[in-house]
Structure 1
Amino acid sequence: MKGIFDLLKPKSPKEGREIAESTLFTTAFSMGKSAGKSAAPWEARAVEVVAQRVPKSRGGKLLESVWEKDQYMSHLSKDALERMQRFFAFASVPPGRDLIRQDEYGTFMVVLLTGSIGVDRRQPWGEHLRLAETRPGDILGEMSLLDSGIRFSTCTTLTDCEIAVLSADAIDEMMAQDAPLAAALIALLARKLSLRLRVVSSRLSDNPNG
């Protein structure tokens, strides 16, 4: 994580130009894919789950509304939230669709705006464990976006849902065009992720089959 923040703070105009031309997140995912793992970009998944585009005017307002109530994301100013919206894609998805699948590389994260999503993990011994049922404002898939690793769980829409999607390409673009905004977002995502991992770790350790 330190390396990411170093990249977000150029010390010279030349260094700034190099960062603007970098593709930190997309390059990391390409490396994973070349190692034999499949990658699932949002554009392909959107077609698969029959996602419908939501106007940015509506999606942006919903994103502001849910993040204003979030313990961590509420630290973003209204101006920052407005600047961030242009990097997101907004969509509606019917129930019973896998937005994220366990063990695949994912090049995007999802913010639930309306509806509910189930988060499930298939354990090595075959058991399917329901980890959570999300509510508006919850973020899914940020771990893979930050570390270029494989997905930990499968996330399936339980109802009609509206979502905001941030891709690896978009976060690279944010880093190049608005580095302070990207730094603030990454820091907040890291804090939320740390809390989620502690909760999941505790639940898995309590499972008698674990």
Structure 2
Amino acid sequence: MRLVVAITGASGAIYGVRILQMLSALGVESHLVTSRHAMLTLTTETDWTPEGLRSLATHVHPVGDVGSVIASGSFQHDGMIIAPCSVKTLSGVANCYADNLVTRAADVTLKEGRRLVLVFRETPLHLGHLRLLTQAAEMGATVFPPVPAFYHEPKVIDDLVDQTAGRVLDQFGLDAAVARWEGMRPLRERQDQQPDHQAALGEPVNG
């Protein structure tokens, strides 16, 4: 299997990092392209360096290289993930404005009928954002905001990141062995396993 992974300048570079790590563990060939601002966000939000990020990918393509193999529909791959996806990149995708390799590769993915997953990272959303998201979805993209789940009782931030990254890979039929919904537990069982926050605060439990 072969996937294109793009990381743009929106907050949440760690999602792209974790997806690349999971793809490597699954033995999936990855083609990485990063926007000009992605590395700034990466080094601001995480301990990862540009060199470390690039080492996670099978192949790395400069964002300005619109002659790269991933810029052509004749290059066969199984889909593309943009994680995180900035508003600017969303706008480029929705309006077919392929001014760099990220948006060109995304446009190619859509025109060839392959899956494009946009891990759109912005909130709150104004009408312009919503219209762009709708337009991208109508063109065939999958809009996948990194909305955290809590049914797996995350203990650290990595638990939240892993669950989202794994669910993104689910879109391509890849199982990264992340926590999954296993049905609602009986109320009594959940109450017995949860700490008594009110008692810990010195407040009356039944008050």
After TM superposition, the score normalised by the length of structure 1 is 0.24
Larger radius of gyration: 2
